[in-house]
Amino acid sequence: MTPDLTRLRNGACPCLSGDPYDQCCGRFHRSEADAPTAEQLMRSRYSAFVVLDPEYLLRTWHSSTRPDTMDLDPDMEWRRLDILGTTAGGPLDARGTVEFAAHYRHDGERGVQRELSRFVREDKRWYYVDGDVR
């Protein structure tokens, strides 16, 4: 499945880095590079939800907790990502956490999903393991 890039606003990356999608999370989605930190993986996974790219989400989900399939709701409109904090998760770390708030609209209602996500680095690649919804 090809990501739905029509969901981008003016070509800007949904992770709010300030960079164009193609130069930011798009390169991770296209497998041209791997996210070097847990935070960057979190941002790229958020962007994958925005552009409806379940293949990327599954590819970056640790095999110990990854579901077999994933269906994304095309009616979910992800609006903003706030990174609230990180622990470890750098290029040389083996583990890390990222706490975030993802703002959305669904069926005319606004909401926020808050989570403390856990990541692990194996073979120089970061993977999402699981998270605690806050």
Domains of the chain, with CATH numbers?
5-133 (3.10.450.50)
Q: What is the pLDDT of residue 2?
A: 72
Beta carbons within 8 Å of 10's beta carbon, 6+ residues apart: none
Q: What is the pLDDT of residue 28?
A: 98
Q: What is the pLDDT of residue 1?
A: 65
CA neighbours closer than 13 Å in the CB half-sphere of residue 69: 2
Task: Tell me the C-alpha distance between 14 and 50, whole Å.
Answer: 7
DSSP 8-state code for residue 53: -
Greater confidence (94 vs 7) lies with: 94
Residue 17 has φ and ψ, to the nearest 5°, of -70, -20
CA angle 92, 27, 114 (to 5 degrees): 70
- pTM of structure: 0.95
Provide the token pair at 24: 């930011």
**How confident is residue 109, by pLDDT bands cut at 50, 70 and 90?**
very high
Provide the CA 128 distance to its chain's centre, in angstroms: 9
Q: What is the pLDDT of residue 53?
A: 97
Q: What is the mean pLDDT of residues 19-40?
A: 97
DSSP 8-state code for residue 65: T
